[in-house]
Homo-oligomer: A and B are copies of this chain.
Amino acid sequence: MNTKGVLFDLYYVVFLVLLITVPANLVQGRLLSIPRPPPENAAHFARWLASQCSWGVLRNVVSFSDGLPDKGLGIPYFYLTTLDPTARNAFEDPRSSFTISEYPLGTCGKRDPESPACAKMTLTGKLKLVDGNTDEAEFAQTALFTKHPEMKDWPNGHQFQFFKLEIEDVFLVNWFGGHRALTVEQYLQAEMNKLSFLERILL
């Protein structure tokens, strides 16, 4: 067999592998950047959910980001205007809870949005303004504007500011049998499972 023939066979095998594996990781037309961890690994699962979701409910529907794609730190940052009651109320009473759902990610299969096997998480804590001109404000801006490019064009006159949720409690349901026992420390310290592009599509 000549070199050309071997190369052809190699390409053919790679093509077949991709044909089988890519659709499994393609969810609603996009490649999930990090595969869904097994539900029993509560801390990793919670961090995966926080890094993959782009919006949730904080009194109202809001967008958020916990960092750059695949580099989330678990703390949700927001870009809110005090023209909206959500941010205005936070100055009077910062106690807040923020709820996200796995359902819109498309990874729940045919499960109902309320099924315990389709994950949901509520982070409870205090909604705090991020001080302007700090490293953290820069982090928040990069994290948010990367995942939500529309934000950088939101009108200056509307006084949008960066906020974050200081997490005091993590309430995760991702399987049957009630919520997971998961401390804030376990949640924040979990290492995200970063995979190479090849691992991502093959796993």
Q: Are A103 and B101 in contact (CB under 8 A)?
A: no
Stretch at the interface among A34-42, A58-66, A183-191: A58-66
Interface size range on A against B: 20 to 34
Task: Give the number of copies in the complex.
Answer: 2
Q: Does A33 contact B (CB under 8 A)?
A: no
Instruction: Give the distance in Å from the alpha carbon of A54 to the alpha carbon of B115 in the complex.
Output: 13
Instruction: Give the distance in Å from the alpha carbon of A148 to the alpha carbon of B173 in the complex.
Output: 19
Q: Does A122 contact B (CB under 8 A)?
A: yes
Partner of A28 from the list B28, B111, B171, B173 (CB cut-off 8 Å) is: B28
Q: Are B103 and A103 in contact (CB under 8 A)?
A: no
**Known contacts A28-B28, A60-B120: does B112 contact A148 (CB below 8 Å)?**
yes
